[in-house]
Homo-oligomer: A and B are copies of this chain.
């Protein structure tokens, strides 16, 4: 079985994207029955969506976990829901800042994550890592990717979803006043999340 794990390139002023070392570390490894296929997405509404849809069509994954950094958060936060909305005050890496547009006109207003979000949170906390379910993936590129993964998953009944992680220490040092985690712990939590998806299939 193939699990597609995606991260993002650096974006806005952030010099580092803490999702990259996680995706690179797990790409090509096997966790239980999953062959992990790791890919990095651009931080652009148009390019990320297009690249992600092509990846999905190409790989035909049996499960999808997309990662993004949520600067300012200090829990691992599996996202509960993706909404059919793009809205951004700040332009993406292509200079686009959509205002209140649908991701897919006429499609579902939202999709709930098909990952076992509460079980992931519970397992992480038992393993000693602060975690909680988040009720918003925002309206930026992260939410678009989560929506696309769930749109694909909707017809195939596969586990798909998005997990926001805190800044890592490097990014926290660069930004000055946000909480950070060690890369080692960020990586460990995603491994645990993948194992939890396997156990609850």
Contact = CB atoms under 8 A, between A and B. Distances in A.
Interface in A9-44: none
A90 to B, nearest CB: 10
Contact of A85 (B87, B112, B138): B112
Interface residues of A, number: 34
A105 to B, nearest CB: 13
A180 B139 contact: no
A45 interface: no
A99 interface: yes
Interface string A122-136: 000100111001011
Given A81-B85, A109-B109, A74 B128 contact: no
Top 5 A-B residue pairs of the complex, sorted by shortest distance between their CB atoms:
A136-B136, A74-B179, A110-B110, A179-B179, A135-B136
